Amino acid sequence: MNADRRPALKPVSESVGPIAAMAAVFARDVRVAFRQRQDLLNPLLFFIMVVTLFPLGVSPEVAFLKQSGAGILWVAALLSVLLSLDHLFRHDFDDGTLEQLVLQPQPLFLLVLAKTAAHWVLTGLPLVLLAPVLGVMVHLDGNSIAILCLTLLIGTPVLSMIGAIGAALTLGLRSAGVLLSLLIIPLYIPVLIFGTGTVAAAAEGAPVGGYLALMGAFLVLAVTLSPFASAAALRISLSNS
């Protein structure tokens, strides 16, 4: 056949906009999660159990719990997010969805941002909503509970965002769980310090505006920078698989 007369499909130039593509990624993750509700419930149960261990294991006294309650809740929330991180990309990696995500024409960091946002809505947000109940259990007063929830609301997205980098990096490894924790926990320390610091300051009646502003800065930093790092880490993990 003469090459000149061969028909040729012309490349398509228009594709779906990034916002619509992000919405589709978000919607799929939420839909999959609701088909597998046990995975949704696990971090919450873990959160409740860890918090319960402290009155049982250390001291059920009101004074102790009042003083350590915010820290206990923060540590438990942090561990609970950590526990759920391995699932963030793992299933998609195993079934090939991740390859198709990387091959979408939209910038990968935006799609990763959508995935991480879905992760937060499915694990971080329920923790924030559950925190007041557990706050009452550890004898925090109303004001402290409100501030605690506010810090968790600002802080848990940061945990998801930073965690996504670690989850993406350890994707190619068979037993990633422990390594993931070792990589990520040091990066969680600043968030934890300021999260609990805010509640402590509020309990002493000190102004918390500065603390909250710093936590807001963490959040902005995490949302704007971590998707780039996660996207790059995903490419490396896929390239080596």
Partner 1 sequence: MSEPLLQAIDLECERDERLLFQNLSFSILPGTVTRVEGPNGTGKTTLLRILAGLNDAWSGQLLWCGEPRARQRESFLRNTLYIGHRPGIKPLLTPVENLKALMAGRREVSDEVLVQALAGTGLAGFENVPCRNLSAGQQRRVALARLLIADEPLWLLDEVFTAIDADGVRAIESLLQQRAAEGGAVLVTTHHELQLPGMKRITLGAGGVHEC
Binding stretches for partner 1 (CB under 8 A): 1, 3-4, 6-16, 20-21, 24-25, 27-28, 31-32, 35-36, 91, 94-97, 99-106, 111, 235, 238-240
Comparing C-alpha atoms, which of 201, 89, 223 is closest to residue 156? 223
Least CB distance to partner 1 at residue 138 (A): 37
CB of 122 to partner 1, least distance (A): 14
| Residue whose CB is less far from partner 1, 35 or 207 | 35
In the complex, the smallest distance separating the C-beta of residue 83 from partner 1, rounded to whole angstroms, is 20
Q: Which residues contact 5 (CB under 8 A, 6 or more apart)?
A: none
Q: Which two tokens stand for residue 88?
A: 């963030």
CB atoms within 10 A of CB 40: 14
Judge whether 22 and 111 are in contact, CB under 8 Å.
Answer: yes
Token pair listed for 11: 């490349």
Q: Is the CB of 3 or the CB of 213 nearer to partner 1?
A: 3
Nearest CB to partner 1, comparing residues 25 and 112: 25
| Cα–Cα distance for residue pair 118/178, rounded to 1 Å | 23
**Cβ at position 99, least distance to partner 1 in Å:** 6
Considering the complex, state which of residue 106 and residue 151 has its C-beta at the smaller distance from partner 1: 106
Residue 116 is encoded by which pair of tokens?
A: 């991480």
What's the closest the beta carbon of residue 113 comes to partner 1, in angstroms? 14
Which of 125, 102, 112 lies closest to 40, judged by CA?
125
Rounded to an integer, what distance in angstroms lies between the CA atom of residue 96 and that of residue 104? Answer: 13
Q: CA–CA separation, 122 vs 84, rounded Å?
A: 10
CB of 50 to partner 1, least distance (A): 28
56/103 with CB nearer partner 1: 103
Query: Of 36 and 143, which has the nearer Cβ to partner 1?
Result: 36
